[in-house]
Structure 1
Amino acid sequence: IIISNELGMGLHADTESGRKFTDLQGWTNQYIAKKADKAIFMVSGLPLFLKDLN
């Protein structure tokens, strides 16, 4: 189980390093979801099933 924050849906960072961090976090989340059997996006305690290979 991997739990990660979704940073790209909020305000954009003011600094270049903040924007790079947000991009890296997004790319990492995409890579992990691509390799995973299941990907669930939680919004306000409700699961949105993005991927379920079972």
Structure 2
Amino acid sequence: MWKGSIEQPCHTTFVKAIALGIGLLLLGAVADSLRRNGKNIETLLAIIAAVFMQPNSR
């Protein structure tokens, strides 16, 4: 009885977790690529933070 009421939230949580994991893997790949080319990783993280803070400021 209770299982039917929690199946949908668990499914959406699973999808969010997968999306977060893929995003972090991509971020790690980009950071590793920049580090190998001698670029500053902190600059990349600052740009990403600024991009995600921009929509929240409106």
Relative to the length of structure 1, the TM-score reads: 0.47
Relative to the length of structure 2, the TM-score reads: 0.44
Which is greater in Rg? 2
Which structure's relative contact order is higher, taking Cα pairs within 8 Å and 6+ residues apart? 1
**Structure with more strand by fraction:** 1
